[in-house]
Amino acid sequence: MPNRRKASKKDLIIQKASSMFREKGFPATSMRDLAESVGIEAASLYNHIQSKSEILQEIIFRSANECNVHFDHVVSSPMPVIRRIEALIRFHVHMMLNRFDDYYVMVNEWHHLEEPYLTTFITQRRTYVQRLEAIIQEGVRSKELRPVMPYVAMLTILSSVRGLEFWHRSNKRISPAELEDNMVNHLIYGLKKN
């Protein structure tokens, strides 16, 4: 049997937890609240998961893995620097739009991870941002980009995407496609030579 997993109760618990961690934050979400949204008693949760912390770990490292897998894909594709950066921005916008709960929890609640997971996450994140910086650096050196500081451009790009939180909270008069294209253009135009 290939990777075709069916959604287990554990998956349901994690999905509901992701939504609640996003809405109320990790510390403010109680296992009793979570149990109620799943439709069982709090004690019964522990037949499917080990602890509250384990749920947070699963949410965060699943999302982090998706980011890393996509990054590898971009690196292995033959594209000019500006296209690589565009592909990475679009990916993060997609995560924020389509995988909102999980991605938001990773970005906003990671500091509630316990050791050794906290250190692992911080290390992974540092590696990720350094790889992105290296791509920007390459573009600056080859003069495809304006002479920006790669570190600052990386911060600007990665944090911009967090603003899409407010689109989710809004009445959504703007389409996801418009949102994506406008944000990508703003950030890319800010890097390109003209």
Binding site for a second copy (CB under 8 A): 24-25, 27-28, 108, 111-112, 129, 146, 148-149, 151-153, 155-156, 158-167, 174, 178-179, 182-183, 185-191, 194
- Cα separation, 60 vs 40, whole angstroms: 24
Q: Does 8 bind DNA (CB under 7 A)?
A: no
Looking at the Cβ atoms of 77 and 182, the one nearer to a second copy is: 182
Site stretch for DNA (CB under 7 A), options 47-55, 76-84, 144-152, 180-188: 47-55
Contact partners, residue 192, CB within 8 Å, separation at least 6: 82, 144, 145, 146
CA-nearest of 130, 178, 177 to 158 is 130
Applying CB under 7 A, among 1, 3, 47, 111 the residue interacting with DNA is 47
- Cα separation, 17 vs 138, whole angstroms: 40
Least separation in angstroms between residue 121's CB and DNA is: 18
Least separation in angstroms between residue 112's CB and DNA is: 11
- Cα separation, 173 vs 170, whole angstroms: 8
Q: Evaluate whether 132 touches 191 at the Cβ level (below 8 Å).
A: no
Applying CB under 7 A, among 11, 23, 36, 46 the residue interacting with DNA is 46
Q: Does 51 bind DNA (CB under 7 A)?
A: yes
Least separation in angstroms between residue 4's CB and a second copy is: 37
Least separation in angstroms between residue 48's CB and a second copy is: 25
Contact partners, residue 150, CB within 8 Å, separation at least 6: 133, 134, 136, 137, 140
- Cα separation, 176 vs 164, whole angstroms: 10
Give the interface with DNA as residue ranges (CB under 7 A).
9, 29-33, 40-44, 46-48, 51-53
